[in-house]
Structure 1
Amino acid sequence: MLSAERIKHEARSLGFDAVGIISLRQDPSEHGAPQRLRRLQEWLQRGYHASMSWMERDPARRADPGRILPGCRSIICVAMNYNTGHRPTEGPGLGRIARYAWGKDYHGVMESRLRQLEAMILEQVPDTRTRVYVDTGPIMEKSLAQQAGIGWIGKHSNLVSSDHGSWLLLGEILTTLELPGDEPGTDLCGSCSLCIKACPTGAISEPYVVDARRCISYLTIEYRGDRESIPDDLASAIGNHIFGCDDCLDVCPFNLRADPSVHAEFLPQPGTLAPRLDELTDFTEARFAETFHSSPLKRAKHAGLMRNAAIAQDNESRAS
């Protein structure tokens, strides 16, 4: 019988910085599915998902992994630390990119390791069924990671680990293999509200709840509208952010004391620490595709990054 300890050892040997397991029993209430569904439905009803319409598709399935993989008995949750300890370069004419996008695209980095872990499980237990996700499937990753004991969901709605802070990328293996579960993570945010105060747009509408319509990460990555469709107050608050935003993470005490990542894949690629706005606005679609083919920045698409760089330039000119 393949043990949970063997799986965790293999996960760490593959480079995952944290691993935890959720045991799913027949009653979904034992693994938090009803609570996840209720929170998701409340969030959707407020319209906080903005234009991300895929979040509305079958919320009950999104909240309950047992509906995704019939017969699912366990979820193996993993995480990798992406903060290499570098600092963004600030200065005239420079944009700001979120840390997770400085290196290679984490989807490929993590999925290749998860596939190796999956292969080991299938080799040891050939009759089990599995499904692998890295920020791509209809599951609520942060809630599952908390349930698996990797950390807790902070007031900025990101996962926080007492060892790694919020600089974690998440992945999962759903499996019909029955494994013992870990204790859920305990919320250690206490009375701290630094992340809420740090948000430039007030997107954290209340502790643990983010309104994507006002979130800089959403506006600079997921939103496909042009500059004219972004309210002036939000465009101004974007500042020099051209892809994502770390402002709520930068102030978290757990992030300030977290150890840097050892993964070379997440080291900054050329131009990510100090992207020149004037150079970016000259990018053709072909140059954009060539430069960012292995980068998370491709998510914004050429039009989105050009829009963001133009907003940052306009904000700088207004401030000078």
Structure 2
Amino acid sequence: MNHQQLKQDLIEYSKTIGIDKIGFTTSDPFLELKNRLIEQQKRNYASGFEEPNLDKRTDPKRLMPEARSIIAIAVAYPSRLHNAPKSRKGQRRGIFSRSSWGLDYHHVVKDRLKKVEAFIQERVPDALLKSMVDTGELADRAVAERAGIGWSGKNCSVLDPEYGSYMYLGEIITNIPFLPDAPMEDLCGTCTKCLDACPTGALVAGGQINAKRCISFLTQTKELIPAEFRDKVGNRLYGCDSCQTSCPYNKRVDFHLHQELEADPEIAKPELLSLLSLSNRAFKEQYGSLSGAWRGKMPIQRNAILALAHFKDPEHIGPLAELLKKDARPVIRGTAAWALGKIGGIEAAVILKECLAMEQEELVRTEIESAIAKLEKLGE
């Protein structure tokens, strides 16, 4: 088998199946990455969503002992929401991050990887192949960087001069010894716009992130979001794009190359109040195809409450009061209490005091008491 010819054939084939970039690298361990991950753990910066075994994350041969190389792919996604509905008084809206527009990217990228696998298998029947996207053991960004897809930016995303950082990544470990591509030069230079734009200071240094402070991580948790970050969430329902939208390489990037990744504006930027009354079934029907739905409806609804507080419209007091009085979930009641304190006013203060007399859950009582204290300090 002529591996160089197979590589060239793969590059040409990839262009016909919706792969925007493809690169090849060795199966050598990612030693520098391992050192960075060890440092992340020491500093307690890891989110907890990652594969806990650092050897699996950094040594392809732990996943496939026969591994000789890795094929990395990238699929570009849109950065602008065309015909986006306006958020206005009486119809306030939240926003899903760009990585959650359209069909769940895990399915989209896996589809491309399966086609690459079939292409290889047809020509090399005994080839060993292992694909993964995001939730796999390997660190997608480290693979993409070494395979020449782009460089690792200060915003912890892989950046390419053409597509910016708006790319979904995936890879295939294989026993085929493909000739590796050269990594791309780091072009961030002295720019620190992404660090400056991060709402919570999660980007502690170029290429280093404290995931526990990252809004993208916080919006995916299932607990109460720590009080210091609630104002920072704004109207984000899932994820955060600040470190990407601030990047100069992303300023004019907006690729609409794949129909599956096109956003439904009403889903990507939904009305907040309508989100709060959705049943589990209705949530799955409307939002289940998004990558942002993977944690279920509760985190999205909690974030919608924070977004209502962000807009501070007095007409939201009624719906928030209903949640505080009747919702069975302590996290939702606690967040509603905080939101009422944020919106403020005599009506909100009366409701909070009424609910404090009825509430049994300590977590919620603490939030109500804090909201009341805040309003009393303001003289409401």
Q: How many residues align?
A: 308
Unpaired runs of 5+ residues, structure 2, are 313-341, 345-380
Matching residue of 1:151: 150
- Checking the alignment, whether the CA contact within 8 Å between 2:104 and 2:290 is kept in structure 1 is yes
Matching residue of 1:35: 32
Matched, 1:9 2:12: yes
Q: TM-score scaled to structure 2, two decimals? A: 0.78
- Which has the greater radius of gyration? 2
- Checking the alignment, whether the CA contact within 8 Å between 1:243 and 1:300 is kept in structure 2 is no
**What amino acid does structure 2 have at the position aligned with 1:181?**
P
- In 2: Cα distance, 1:9 partner to 1:187 partner: 26
**What amino acid does structure 2 have at the position aligned with 1:203?**
A
- In 1: Cα distance, 2:79 partner to 2:47 partner: 32
**What amino acid does structure 1 have at the position aligned with 2:121?**
L
**What amino acid does structure 2 have at the position aligned with 1:8?**
I
- Checking the alignment, whether the CA contact within 8 Å between 2:267 and 2:287 is kept in structure 1 is no
How do 1:1-320 and structure 2 match up within 5 A? 1=1, 2=3, 3-24=6-27, 28=28, 33-52=30-49, 54-55=50-51, 57-83=52-78, 85-86=80-81, 89=85, 91-92=87-88, 93-221=92-220, 223-225=221-223, 227=224, 230-317=225-312, 318=342
**CA shift in 2, pair 1:58/1:191, >3 Å:** same
**CA shift in 2, pair 1:319/1:153, >3 Å:** farther
- Checking the alignment, whether the CA contact within 8 Å between 1:95 and 1:240 is kept in structure 2 is yes
**CA shift in 2, pair 1:248/1:283, >3 Å:** same
Shift of 1:23: 2.4
Shift of 1:298: 1.4
- Checking the alignment, whether the CA contact within 8 Å between 1:149 and 1:185 is kept in structure 2 is yes
Write out per-residue CA displacement over residues 94-132 of structure 1, whole angstroms, 9 at most, x where no aligned residue: 112101211111111111121011011011011110001
Write out per-residue CA displacement over residues 168-227 of structure 1, whole angstroms, 9 at most, x where no aligned residue: 000111100111000012110001111111111111111111111111100112x121x3
Most deviating of 11-20 and 261-270: 261-270
Matching residue of 2:322: none
Unpaired runs of 5+ residues, structure 1, are none
Shift of 1:85: 3.5
Secondary structure of 1:13's aligned partner: coil
Shift of 1:261: 2.7
Most deviating of 146-155 and 1-10: 1-10
Shift of 1:49: 1.4
Shift of 1:319: 7.2
Q: Which has the higher contact order (CA 8 A, sep 6+)?
A: 1
**CA shift in 2, pair 1:304/1:70, >3 Å:** same
- Checking the alignment, whether the CA contact within 8 Å between 2:79 and 2:166 is kept in structure 1 is no
Most deviating of 88-97 and 98-107: 88-97
Secondary structure of 1:8's aligned partner: helix
Percentage of matched positions with identical amino acids: 33
Write out per-residue CA displacement over residues 3-60 of structure 1, whole angstroms, 9 at most, x where no aligned residue: 2111111112111000000023xxx3xxx521111111111221111343x43x2201
Secondary structure of 1:271's aligned partner: helix
- In 2: Cα distance, 1:270 partner to 1:193 partner: 31
- Checking the alignment, whether the CA contact within 8 Å between 1:77 and 1:171 is kept in structure 2 is yes
- Checking the alignment, whether the CA contact within 8 Å between 2:81 and 2:265 is kept in structure 1 is no
- Checking the alignment, whether the CA contact within 8 Å between 1:84 and 1:262 is kept in structure 2 is no
**CA shift in 2, pair 1:273/1:137, >3 Å:** closer
- In 1: Cα distance, 2:93 partner to 2:148 partner: 39
- Checking the alignment, whether the CA contact within 8 Å between 2:77 and 2:254 is kept in structure 1 is no
